[in-house]
Structure 1
Amino acid sequence: MANFPAVRSWRAALTAPSPALVNHVARVRNQSPVEARTAVHWYATLVQRALSVFNHGDDVPMFIVRAPGRVNLLGMHIDHRGGRVNPIAVRELVLVCVPRADNRIRIANANPSFPADEFAVPELLPEKKITDWADWTLTTPETLRRKSLLGHWSSYVRAAAAYFANLWGMRDSIRGLDILGDSQLPQAAGLSSSSALVVAAGYALHLANEKPIDRRAFAEGCGQAEWYVGTRGGFGDQAAIALSKSGHVSHVDFFPMEVDWSPWQPGVSVVVCHSRVHAQKTANARSVFNERVATYVIALLWIKKVRPQWESRLGHLRDVLRLGVHVSEIYRVLKQLPVRATREQVQSSLRGAGEELEKLFSTHEDPAEGYRVRDVCLYGLAECERSLILADFLRRGDIAGAGRLIDLSHEGDRVTVLDDSGVRVPYDSGVSDADLDRLIEASQSPDPEIREAARLALQPGGYAASCAELDEIVDIARSVDGVYGAGLIGAGLGGCVEAIVDDRAVDNLRKALITQYFEKHGLDPFIEVMAPVEGVCAIELPEFQQ
């Protein structure tokens, strides 16, 4: 077993923290030493709680893993299509871990709202190694549902345990853990608290089983692990949690995964506001998330049908941007996609993809109004381009330009607007043939300003994953001087809004949100300034010599 500090070492170090320990915590949390000491005290209480819950003595080895959530500044809903994400890591979830001599995992939570659980890893997997994880995990949500575990926080630990035990060929021999968890991340807020738990549990299993960690491969593995609970997303959230650097924005590309970083701009804050609407991935929201992902797949299949000469070069939706064709040709292709299509229409038009479509359809309910093929596809292509150019804006200090891109991204998610009388009404983001004809003409205009307005990155599209509350918060934030841009975070349908704001305007933004949203709706305010923190790591005891 790896040589971890004994409990007595942790108790001594956390009770009277050395400057080296305080500085280590301050660095990974991007905090002052005073703030870091508060975090060390929190860790100390969790260690004591773990000893009480699991009845361990001072001699057992122990380690602590922390994993942040994330705020993706730009690149919403596109990581699974090969698009770039641009996140900062925020706050943290903490797991206090004691390695076991068997393959069982016991998990408890400092928050009594999350009940304890216990399982043996072999119970999660068939006897033979799974060779097609994507296919096998189509059935696991139903298994979890039958056991009343769908949506249980422990299902995310199960996801990590099942995936890595299968990957390593260690179904029976994997070393288990006693885990006590706690978190500063609000649940169902769009800050990736669920993914943080998968990543933290996966990291802990790597340490306990003495497995080397290639962070890029690890992030992809955690993304695939999360399919176990029924969400068919990409690897963007897991990459943010695994690869982020304190004080930096990450720029993560996929297929293959590559990462670069930009320092965060001094004098500018990321303010996160929770709508108090919870988009639970355990309910109808999961079906909507998976339906949008399926719409992307349908759109790409349709593009290959209408442009068969492109087919061999299109592995992912983002590859449309790599063809080197004029943007007017992309708009012409979009015009050949249906605005909406029922399942019957999809199957009839894409006859060669029957098996793939059946698997897609099994992940979500049949959308009552059909798949929004054209709108979602335009959003995805435009967001892929927006996400690529954000780094240039940040590196040259053009925060206003970066904010405009964030605004455009949210317009593609928007579902409500204020009418002339100030009443919030439904918003139709549909892209008509006439709209595309105007873009085709404008993109070929001799006037550079007209051509610029027709640029793909400046078209919102229509992913429509917001809700009235998120739209309301975005509109309030944008009305405050000093706010550069605002938009939803995460998969949408609830959760949080990000606002990029001049430090001098943070107080005014806070007051506006409290008076115009939280007090209006009788809700407790949640408004936080989020500093970019380090990605997943173990807390180190500098005094402990291995």
Structure 2
Amino acid sequence: MVRSNNPYTASIAQWQAAIEQGRFDCEFGRIYGREQVAVWRINYLEALRHFAARYGSEGRLVVARCPGQMNVMGMHIDYGGMPSVRMAVRGADTLVVARAAASRRVRLASFLRSPGAAADRFKPIEIDLEAILPKARVAERQALMDYAGQVCRQRLERTGSALASGWSALVEGQLVYLESYFRGRVVLGGFDGLVWSSVSPSGGMSSSSALVVATALAAMGVHGLVPRRDMSEADLVDGLGTSEWMRGTRGGTADHGGMILGRAGKLVGVGVFPARVQGEAALPDEYAALVLDSGVVREYDEAVKEETVIAYPLGAFIARELVLPQLGKSRAVRERVLYLRDVVPKTLELSLAELYRVLGQLPQQTSLAELAAEAQAAGVGAHFEAMYQREVAGKFQLLSEDTPLFIRRRCVYGLAEQDRVAGMLAYLNAGDMATALELIRISHDGDLDREVEDEVLAQLVERAERGEERAQLRFLPGGYGRMTPAYDRTVRVVNRFLTAEGPTAGAVQRLGAGWGGNIGGLVHRTFVDGERRDGFAEMLRTELGHEPELAVAVPGEGAGLLAAPQGG
């Protein structure tokens, strides 16, 4: 069922005429900047033209947009319920032009407008809604995760891999979520759509998540549903982010939060579970957010990815059920630990020194079998089983009961990165660029696979008891373990050049899921469009061995539907 009098639909001729006549110039200026209005007129008209060429020009269409996003601080921690500092990237957009269909089929074609990528890189797809929609509702995050686990397990049995190779699974996931969310209110029908995107697929701007958000907004639009009115921002972010688990990935939802909660000119603290804004800071005028293709091809290590993701819920369980009781903490205090993010002094009524003692009791290495036995011996076997069914069962296809799990280094990284997020916003707002940039370099170090030894934590206990500023958790890297030597070298080459120029020249780190792809950070504009630009570019060419694909990211507006032209 499609609602009538939809203010977001117009005929293709009406959209084209309004854009050509400049009636969207103010809106394009607000979203993309006044100097880019003419460029985006062309882009939107190109998307409309490709839609008409493939699906015809009849009917009424919606136009959805979603920017790419950049993670400035807070890598790999959103699935532990922890926040990150994000920016929606102005001018890197995924557009979806869509029209409701009479059938229960979704047809999508893609046109990629990204340097170095073929326009037809992603082949057209067709999705039969009757074949993918579950009988049971999966609108809640836990139910959606459980259903995704079933889908991935079946895919593993069928193909030998839990990870879907095509882009169809990304769209299917959000359609499953939307149908369940609106079940009983709106019947999800089919639609035809053209996906036009200038978001780099190299990694670092979350092109896959931009696809998920843009196609979901378009699906809502063709049904007369308005994002933020008919679905809250929290449900948009957390639901759409979790829907990507159906592809076989095990990521979080803050990428989607950066896209939906983005604010022009601002770096935004994006909290999750529930999604919300947790502070903001302006990007200083003299700095640019830089995204650079490292030239290192990302090759996912799915086994390591599962091991790193599972560490957070296991670490939260160990702290809540096995460590905090030894400190005499009451059940009421311990039950505040729902996610790893809650293992912090304020929540647990601990000093910083006491927190370091807690972290020192997390096992450096364990396994699911060992944890189950330890929980049973401590009298909390039933609690372990409940956690296992909620967080583990059916969701991780490559982990066995005896897979080594490096809990301490992973969880220390996550908690330290959470503190770096708070520090980044505080230092930016205070104008302390030297320390803000230092945190970027420390965050990168945290992706190495290094243990946090007892001696290090013992020293931090002493320093915290003395009240030393540098004893804060944010200055401890941790060890998340998603780095490769080639990828690490690229980051260190750039940072070595910048630090030689002074503590406020800039800093970069890895972006995205790890193992390769883009790198990025904050760099003084003298190296981007000022007097040191040529020297910086020459260093990149020499050290990286190729002409670097470099983009300057500007904080932009979050995703949404375009209101149809008046009279449309």
Do the structures match in fold with TM over 0.5? yes
Of the structure 1 ranges 101-110 and 125-134, higher mean CA displacement relative to structure 2 is found in 125-134
Closer/same/farther in 2, CA of residues 356 and 276 from structure 1, 3 Å limit = farther
Q: 1:487 to 1:374 in 2, by over 3 A?
A: same
Pairing 1:25–2:28 present: yes
Deviation at 1:17, TM superposition (A): 3.9
3-state DSSP of counterpart to 1:363: coil
Q: Which amino acid aligns with 2:15?
A: W
* Matched letter for residue 243 of structure 1: L
Structure 2 counterpart of 1:504: 526
Distance in structure 2 (CA, Å) of the matches to 1:6 and 1:205: 17
Question: What is the CA-CA distance between 1:372 and the residue it aligns to?
Answer: 1.5
1:190-247 deviation digits (Å, cap 9, x = unpaired): 2211111111111112111122242222112212222221223332111111111122
> Is this contact kept in 2: 1:291–1:364, CA < 8 A?
no
Distance 2:296 2:535 in 1: 19
Contact 2:526/2:532 (<8 A) preserved: no
CA drift at 1:513? 6.3
1:289 to 284, 290, 305: 305
Match of 2:183 in 1: 169
| Matching residue's letter, 2:388 | L
Indicate whether 1:273 and 2:282 are aligned.
no
1:150-169 correspondence runs (5 A): 150-169=164-183
Distance 1:8 1:528 in 2: 34
- C-alpha separation between the residues in 2 aligned to 1:503 and 1:6? 44
Of stretches 264-273 and 428-437 in structure 1, the one that deviates more from structure 2 is 428-437
Q: 1:38 is matched with which residue?
A: 39
Letter of the 2:488 counterpart: D
AA aligned opposite 2:298: A
Preserved contact between residue 477 and residue 483 of structure 1 (Cα < 8 Å): no
Q: Offset at 1:295?
A: 0.9
Per the TM alignment, residue 144 of structure 1 is displaced from its structure 2 partner at its CA by 4.9
Matching of residue 78 in structure 1 with residue 69 in structure 2: no
Q: Which residue of 2 aligns with 1:421?
A: none
The letter of the residue matching 1:534 is E
Give yes or no for the alignment of 1:492 onto 2:514.
Answer: yes
Instruction: Tell me whether 262-271 or 250-259 shows the greater mean CA deviation.
Output: 250-259
Residues 153 and 523 from structure 1, CA distance in 2 versus in 1: closer, same or farther, beyond 3 angstroms? farther
**Percentage of identical aligned residues:** 27
Alignment-derived partner of residue 348 in structure 1: 373
Q: Report the residue type matching 1:441 in the other structure.
A: E
Q: Retained in 2: the 8 A contact 1:206–1:213?
A: no
1:488-525: CA deviation from partner (whole Å, max 9, x where unpaired): 22221112211211111225776566545555554442
| Cα distance in 1 for residues equivalent to 2:548 and 2:410 | 32
Give the one of 7, 12, 19 matched to 2:12: 7
In structure 2, the residue matched to 1:249 is: 267
Pairing 1:527-538 to 2, within 5 Å after superposition: 527-538=550-561
Relative distance call for 1:261 and 1:410 in structure 2 (3 A) is same
Which residue in 2 is equivalent to 1:363?
396
- Contact 1:190 1:492 (8 Å CA) reproduced: no
What SS class does the counterpart of residue 53 from structure 2 fall into? helix
Residue 434 (structure 1) aligned with residue 445 (structure 2):
no
Which of 262, 271, 280 is the aligned partner of 1:261? 280
Q: Report the count of equivalent residues.
A: 519
1:469 and 2:502 matched: no
Output the CA distance in 2 between the equivalents of 1:505 and 1:514.
8
Provide, for residues 350-402 of structure 1, a one-character-per-residue CA deviation record: whole Å limited to 9, x for no partner: 34224643762751524997211111111111111111232222222222222
Give unmatched runs, 5+ long, in structure 1: 416-427
Q: Secondary structure at the match of 2:137?
A: coil
How far apart are 1:71 and its partner, in Å? 0.7
The change in CA–CA distance for 1:323 and 1:127 in structure 2 (over 3 A counts) is closer
Instruction: State the alpha-carbon separation in 2 of the partners of residues 238 and 208 from structure 1.
Output: 21
2:151 maps to amino acid: T
Contact 2:233 2:275 in 1 (8 A): no
Q: Which residue of 1 aligns with 2:244?
A: 226
Range with bigger deviation, 461-470 or 126-135: 126-135
Contact 1:476 1:513 in 2 (8 A): no
1:96 aligned residue: 97
The C-alpha deviation readout for 1:16-67, integer Å capped at 9, x for no partner, is 241x4123112212x233x22112202211211111112x13x411122111
Per the alignment, in what secondary structure is the counterpart of residue 483 of structure 2?
coil
SS of equivalent to 2:127: strand
User: What displacement does 1:258 show?
Assistant: 2.4
Could you say what secondary structure the match of 1:301 adopts? helix
Contact 2:72 2:521 survives alignment (8 Å): no
RMSD: 2.6
Aligned to 2:519, the other structure's residue is in SS state strand
Q: State the one-letter code of the partner of 1:28.
A: I
Return 150-159 or 365-374, whichever deviates more: 365-374
Q: Quote the Cα distance in structure 1 between the aligned partners of 2:523 and 2:545.
A: 25
Q: Distance in 1 between matches of 2:399 and 2:40?
A: 46
| Structure 2 portions without partners, runs of 5+ | 112-118
Cα deviation for residue 118 of structure 1 reads 1.0
Distance 1:108 1:349, change over 3 A: same
Whole-Å separation in 2 of the counterparts to 1:509 and 1:196: 33
Equivalent-residue separation in structure 2 for 1:116 and 1:465 (angstroms): 32
In the alignment, the residues of structure 2 paired with residue 514 and residue 505 of structure 1 have an alpha-carbon distance, to the nearest angstrom, of 8
Given that 2:127 and 2:168 are in contact with CA atoms closer than 8 Å, whether structure 1 keeps it comes out as: no
Aligned ranges 1:103-502 → 2 under 5 Å: 103-110=104-111, 111-130=119-138, 132-144=143-155, 146=158, 150-169=164-183, 173-211=187-225, 212-259=230-277, 260-279=279-298, 284-304=300-320, 305-308=322-325, 309=329, 310-321=333-344, 322-351=347-376, 352=381, 353-354=384-385, 356-357=387-388, 360=392, 362-366=395-399, 370-413=404-447, 415=448, 429-445=450-466, 448=467, 451-478=468-495, 479-480=497-498, 481=501, 482-502=504-524
1:301–1:350 contact (8 Å) kept in structure 2:
no
Counterpart Cα distance in 2 of 1:158 and 1:338: 39
8 A Cα contact 2:409 2:451, kept in partner: yes
* Within-5 A mapping of 1:39-78: 39-54=40-55, 56-57=56-57, 59-78=58-77
CA distance in 2, matches of 1:303, 1:375: 14
How big is each residue's C-alpha offset from its partner over 1:62-110, in whole Å with a ceiling of 9 and x where there is no partner?
Answer: 1221111111111222222221111001111111111223322101112
Q: Is the 8 A contact 2:138 2:177 kept in 1?
A: no
In the alignment, which residue of structure 1 is the partner of 2:114? none
Q: Residue type matched to 1:202 in 2?
A: A
Residue equivalent to 1:526: 549
TM-score (norm 2): 0.85
